[in-house]
Structure 1
C-alpha cells in the first residue's frame, strides 16, 4: 500500500460512531472518489484501512487514492441508503459502480417552446428541455417515438410552428399527422396530443390501452361519438403497431431481469426489460467486482434505479444481494407500489435469468474477443466459485474388463479446448484387479510424482505444470481419493466429480457429498459433458488397445515352447498376428531366439 496517510485514516476511522450513515472518500484534490453507506460507520470504514490483501483490486486502488473522508449520520440504515443513492447521482464518484454500457444511452427530448416537439437524442444537451430516459437501446427509443408520433398524429418534420402552409404533407393524407402547419389544429389540441404522447411513452402500453378503452366507453355512453371515434382510432393504431411484437413472458408481466458474468475482478451485467410480457430492451454494462458478488449486485441495483425512474414491480436477479430488503423498501417508496426482488429457483424466471446470463457472457466474448470455449470456462469458474477461470483442466478415468488390463487416462483441456499433446496414459500395475479407487490412487500418485520430479528439473510444461481444476469421472469416492493424493503432495487444487445418468450422459457435478445440477447452465453443461466424454473415450480406447494386444499375446503363449519372452520376440519381428500366421518355416527359423522345433509348433498350431 503506497498511501502514506493510511495510519491517519485508520486512526480516524476507529473514532467513528457505531451509527448508521454515509461516508464520503476524497482524494488529495478534494474530489469525491467513493460514496458508501453503513449500518455501523466505524466497523465499515475501518475495514478499508485494515488488511489490504483481503480486498478486491478495485477497492485496493480506491484506498490508495483516499486522502481524507467525511461522514453524514442518519437515523436509520434505510435513510443512509436513500442519501447514498442521491449523493452518487450528484457526484458520480470514480470508484462507485457507474453504468458504462457497450453502446451508450438514448433519451427522448421534450423541447421547451410554444409548440413542443419530441426528439430521440443521445445526450441531454439543452438545459431548457425535459428528458425521458435514459434508455439502453436507441433503436427502441426511435421505434417507440415514431409510433407515438403516428398514433397521436404529431408532426415528424422539422418545421417550427406556427407555420402556414397551403398544402399538408403526405403524412396528413396517410392519417399520421394532424397537419398543424395548415392552421387546422389549435394550440390547445396540439398540447393535449403531446401530453398524451408523453403519457404513452412513460407508461405501460397495456395500462394505457385499458385507460383509453374505458374513456372511449364513457364517451359512447354520453353520446360523444366523435370523441369516442377519435380514441377508437388511437387504440386501433396502438394495437396495430404492437401486435407484431413477440410476447416472451406469461401473464403479460412488466419486470426487469439482472444477471452477472464474472472474469476475475471484471464484471459484465445484463438487464432484460420486459413491458407487458414483451422483451423491450436488453443492455450490457461493464464494471469491476465491488468487495463481493452480493455487494456488487446491490450496488448495481442502486445505481441502475438511480438513473432509471421506470421501476417495475418485479425485479429478478441471479443470486443473493446485500441490502435486499432495504433496496426493496427504497424502490417501493419511489414507485408508491410494492416492489419485489426475487432470486428464482425454478420456473420461467429461472429461464429468463439463464437467458440474461447468456447475453452477459456473449458481451464479454465480444468485448474481449473470447471464443465460445473461453466464455464457457469463465462461466464454469464462476459456477464452481473458483478464484479465476481455470486455464488448464485435467480429467481422469479408469477402464478395465472384469479387473483385467486396467489402465488410467488423463486428458487436458486448455482454455476449454482439448490439448491432446498433454494427454497421458497409465498402465495400472500395483493395484488389486477391480479396485477402481485403488487404481485411481496409483494413477494420481504417479502423475504428481512426475510433477515433483519435472519441477525439480526446471521444466515448465507437461507434468511440471499443475492443473487449476481437476474433474474426476465419478462420484465422491473418486473425488475423495483425488483430495487424499493432493493433500499428500501439499497441493491446493479444486476437485469435483462428474456424474452420469442412467443413459451414461452427464447429469451433475458433485462436491462435498452434494450434487449440483448443471442442466440450466448451457455453456457449463456443454463443456463438462465434452470433458467427461473425452476422458472416457480416451481411456476406454487405450484399454481396448491393451486388451486386444494382450489377447493376441495369449494366443501365442498357448503354443508349446512359446512363452512370454518368445511371444514378445515374434511380435517385434512380425508386428501382427496375421503376419505370424503367414510366415513359413524358413522365415520363422531366421528369427533370433526361435528354434526349428518352435517354428514347427507355430506352423502346426495355425494348421498351416
Structure 2
C-alpha cells in the first residue's frame, strides 16, 4: 500500500462529493460519498476484499471533488463514470433502442410513424412504454387527424387515393385532396396531443365546432364532434400520455467475478418489460453492496423512477435522492421479486457456463506458458489480396470475454501490402503502441508465421499461432507455441478459446475489409478526413500528380502548396503515410 495515498485522505473534507483513484493519469475508480473523509479512510482500514486491496495497490493518487449536496454527488459520479469508463466501476451498458412517435416535418405533408432509436432527436415524441403502446397511439391519432403513414416513395408515386382514404383514415394529400394549410392544422393538433396539451386542444376544437354550427356548417361541426369523441377515448385510456414507468423491481445476484441484475418495469400494476445486465465484480461486492452501486446508474438512466421494489431492506443512509424502496413480504410484488431474482440467477449461471467453456484453455496456458489467471489475449487477422486494399484486424479477449471496446483495424501501407506476414507485423506493432497491456498474441498461421512475427514485434510478448488441419476441417488444427506444438484433435477442450479468438478475428477482419472496400469503391480515402473534399483532392493531383509525395514533404510545404491550414495538412499526411510509408 502506498503510504502517501493513505496520508492524503487527511486532506479530505467531511462533506458530500466524489472521489477518484488514479494510476498515473488513468482513473481506476470513481465513487460518491456523503462524507468524503470517512469514505476514503475506509479503504485503508479493516478487512478488505482481494479486488479492493488490488485497487488500492494499483493506485498512486487519490483525489476528490466536493458538491453542494448528495444528489449533486450522485449525478456527478454517474456522468464521470460514463465519460471516463474506469475499469473498477460498474458501467450500465444498455444498447436497447426505445419506441418513439416520429413526425417528419422536412416533408410538405409530414407522415406519422413509430421509430426505434437509442437517443431522441428532432421530430421525435416519447419514449413510450412499449412498441405496442406506440403503435396503438399512432393508430388512434391517424383515426382522429387522418395523418398519412405511407412511405415517401409511395406518396410520391400515387395517381389516385389509396385504401386509407377510402376508409376515412387519410385525407389523401398525395393527390391534392387537402391543401398544405389544412394539413398543417392537423399536424399542429397532432403535435399538441403528443406534447400532452389535451385540454387546450379540446377547448380549441369545441370553439371550432360551435363556430361551424353557428355558420350552419353542420357536416363540419359533426366531423369535429366525432374527433372530440375519439380524443376523449384516447385520453381515458392514457394511450398517448403513458411515457414511462416510475416503478422498477430489481433482482441482483453476485459471485466472485460477476454481478447479474434483472430489472422489471412495472406500469399500472402490470409487468411490461424486463432487462438484464451483466457486470464485472471488480471489487467483489456482495448482493446488497452491488445493488447500492447499481441503483444510481439506473436512476440516472431512467429519471422518472421514484419507487424500487427489492428483496433488501435498504437503509435510508445508503441512498441519495428521493427514490422510495419497498420490501414486500407477500402478494404480487413479492412474486415480482422472485421473478427478478430468478432471472438474475439465470444470467449469472449462463455467464458462468460461458466462462467454464474456456477453463481448460486457460489452465493449459497457465501450466505451459506461465500466463496469469485472466490473461489478455489479442487475435490478429489480415484481409485483402495482393495489389488491393489490405487491412489488419485485432480482437481483444480479457477477463474471460471479448472486449469490443478494444477491437481495432488498420489499413496496411502499400509498400508492405504484398506480404501478409509484414502486414501482420505492422498491425501488431501499431496495436501495441495504443494498447500495450497484452499477455498473449494469437495469429492464424503455422510455425513459420509464428517465428517470423515473434522476431519482429516491438515488445516482448508471447505469441502463439493456429494452423489449419487436414482438409481444413474444424477441430483438427494445431496450436504452435515456443515450447511445442499441440494437436487439437487430441485435446478438444483446450482448443475452444484459441479457435474462438481466431474465428472472431477472422469475422471482424472480413466485416471491416468489406466495409472499407465498399467505401473506397465509392469515394477517395482522403474524404474520410473532415474538411477534405473533391477540390482539395483535385489540387493534390494537379500539384503532385500523385498522393505519394505528401508522405515525404514538410507540413509547411503541403500547407503552402494546397492553401490549407497546417492541422489539415497534418491529418492528410498522417493518413497518406498509412499507405506509402
| TM-score, L = length of structure 2 | 0.47
State the structure with more CA Rg.
1
State the TM-score, normalized to the length of structure 1: 0.45
